[in-house]
């Protein structure tokens, strides 16, 4: 069941590391009252933590409402809601890496993810966590993406970095470079390509997505002179994906591919490891990048930055990526609804209402 209220989606926010910039960027994003025209926000934290950061931003005006009885059916659609994930006091020391801050970041994330999986919220924007202090016997994940994969019980997901000018998926995520080559298999490549192709169709309204695949080695191996992965694994995977009906091309030498602007000829790019995709993405997305998890039944987005302990609590964090994550989340929700409607009614022509661009323009006025 959808949590929609008069076609206005309910969007949850996990608070991220309590000592990072997550709550500051959330408060800055939601302080514009026009946000409530497009969604009903729910912050998964507790009143004291939210008000701590709100006091550091006195110029931000917000109407906050605690969710009654921890029942998401009782949220206030005219205000920003706080879902109390815990009652006890928590030490907040902006800029410091503490076990306590990591513990409550996980509590917030688990509670919000439960709500998303149960359909009690329509989308989730996750604030940054720190990978070291979230670790425990019950939470042994390298980040949001593998946790959500396990939580939703799906065979695979794809970390898809989204901006207006590019989309880059990752074959491997937070993995040591020395281990990357062992994960470059034909099955893994085809799985990610399939996830990306399906997501481009239903989440981004691309009817016939074209996907580029980068090579692993310098110069994409130079025909086997600098590594064999391109010849032995990557090219056969591309050929098999084409036989399955996917429009995919490569492998391309990563440096020339971005330097020459070849990414502009494709709907998305599959990078083989973290920095191969994230360095050009963050350099070319102009601070408006969003992390989206393709392959989940629920919609999850995140800003493309980390906890930024060096500026936490100083009131100077830039909320642009968090705002973009919110509107990308809203836009994908609407796109999925329209995709489903079109499949149920194949003769019905529908024009996609792109929320993100129009809202961003209005909020920048």
Let me know whether 277 and 324 are in one domain.
no
| Token pair for 109 | 């994330």
Tell which of 251, 284, 317 closes a domain.
Answer: 284
Let me know whether 192 and 72 are in one domain.
no
- Whether residue 273 contacts residue 172, with contact meaning beta carbons closer than 8 Å, is answered with yes
Let me know whether 95 and 178 are in one domain.
no
Q: What is the pLDDT of residue 276?
A: 96
Is this prediction's pTM over 0.85?
yes
- Predicted confidence (pLDDT) per residue in 228-267, tens digit: 999 999 999 999 999 999 999 999 999 999 999 999 999 9
Cα separation values, 294 from 48, 140, 148, 329, Å? 33, 21, 11, 12
Quote the number of domains for the chain: 2
Domain contains 160 = no
Tell which of 252, 284, 316 closes a domain.
Answer: 284
- Indicate if the alpha-carbon torsion angle 220, 226, 227, 232 is positive or negative: positive
Domain contains 91 = yes
Cα separation values, 253 from 4, 213, 242, Å? 44, 9, 20
Q: For 12-35, b where at least 16 C-beta lie within 10 A, e where not — what string?
A: bbbbbbbbbbbbbbbbbbbbbeeb
Strand order in the sheet with 166-170: 64-66, 80-84, 40-45, 10-14, 123-126, 299-303, 290-294, 158-163, 166-170, 268-271, 210-214, 247-252
Q: What is the pLDDT of residue 124?
A: 98
Domain contains 161 = no
Number of other CB atoms surrounding residue 261 within 10 Å: 9
Domain contains 342 = yes
- Confidence category of residue 191, pLDDT binned at 50, 70, 90: very high
Checking if the pLDDT of 351 tops 50, the result is no
Let me know whether 269 and 128 are in one domain.
no
- Indicate if the alpha-carbon torsion angle 167, 171, 174, 179 is positive or negative: negative
Let me know whether 179 and 247 are in one domain.
yes
H or E stretch covering 242: helix 235-243
- Confidence category of residue 352, pLDDT binned at 50, 70, 90: very low
Residue 254 sits in a domain of what CATH number? 3.40.718.10
120: β partners: none
Let me know whether 13 and 142 are in one domain.
yes
Domain contains 117 = yes
**Residue whose pair of structure tokens reads 């604030």 in the numeric block:** 127
Alpha-carbon gap, residue 270 to 297, rounded angstroms: 21
Cα separation values, 88 from 66, 103, 137, 138, Å? 16, 13, 22, 21
241: containing domain: 166-284
- Predicted confidence (pLDDT) per residue in 106-152, tens digit: 999 999 999 999 999 999 999 999 999 999 989 999 899 999 999 99
Let me know whether 278 and 297 are in one domain.
no
Domain contains 243 = yes
Contacts of 1 (CB under 8 A, 6+ apart): 119
Let me know whether 269 and 306 are in one domain.
no
Tell which of 264, 284, 304 closes a domain.
Answer: 284
Alpha-carbon gap, residue 309 to 47, rounded angstroms: 22
Checking if the pLDDT of 43 tops 70, the result is yes
Let me know whether 319 and 194 are in one domain.
no
Let me know whether 178 and 139 are in one domain.
no
Let me know whether 171 and 138 are in one domain.
no
Domain contains 21 = yes
Let me know whether 270 and 307 are in one domain.
no
């Amino acid at each position: 069941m959808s949590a929609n209220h008069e076609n206005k989606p309910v969007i949850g926010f996990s608070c991220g590391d309590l000592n990072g910039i997550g709550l500051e960027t959330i408060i800055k994003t939601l302080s514009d009252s026009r946000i409530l025209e497009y969604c009903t926000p729910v912050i998964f934290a507790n009143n004291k933590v939210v008000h701590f950061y709100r006091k550091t931003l006195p110029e931000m005006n917000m109407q906050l409402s605690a969710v009654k009885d921890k029942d998401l059916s009782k949220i206030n659609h005219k205000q920003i809601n706080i879902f109390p994930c815990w009652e006890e006091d928590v030490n907040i020391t902006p800029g410091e890496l503490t076990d306590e801050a990591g513990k409550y970041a996980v509590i917030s994330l688990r509670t919000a993810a439960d709500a998303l999986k149960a359909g009690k919220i329509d989308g989730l924007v996750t604030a940054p966590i720190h990978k070291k202090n979230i670790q425990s016997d019950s939470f042994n994940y390298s980040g949001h993406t593998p946790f959500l994969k396990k939580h939703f019980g799906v065979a695979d997901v794809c970390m898809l970095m989204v901006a207006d000018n590019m989309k880059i998926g990752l074959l491997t995520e937070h993995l040591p470079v020395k281990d990357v080559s062992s994960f470059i298999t034909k099955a893994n490549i085809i799985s990610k390509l399939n996830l990306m192709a399906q997501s481009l169709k239903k989440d981004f309204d691309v009817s016939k997505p074209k996907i580029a695949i980068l090579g692993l080695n310098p110069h994409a191996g130079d025909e086997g002179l600098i590594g064999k992965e391109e010849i032995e694994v990557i090219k056969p995977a591309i050929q098999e994906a084409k036989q399955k009906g996917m429009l995919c091309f490569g492998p391309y030498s990563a440096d020339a591919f971005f330097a020459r602007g070849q990414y502009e000829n494709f709907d998305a790019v599959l990078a083989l490891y973290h920095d191969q995709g994230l360095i050009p993405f963050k350099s070319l997305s102009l601070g408006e990048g969003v992390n989206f998890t393709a392959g989940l039944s629920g919609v999850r987005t995140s800003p493309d930055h980390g906890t930024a302990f060096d500026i936490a609590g100083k009131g100077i964090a830039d909320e642009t990526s968090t705002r973009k994550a919110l509107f990308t989340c809203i836009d994908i929700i609407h796109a999925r609804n329209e995709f489903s409607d079109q499949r149920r009614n194949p003769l019905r022509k529908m024009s996609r209402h792109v929320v993100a661009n129009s809202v961003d323009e209005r909020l920048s006025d």
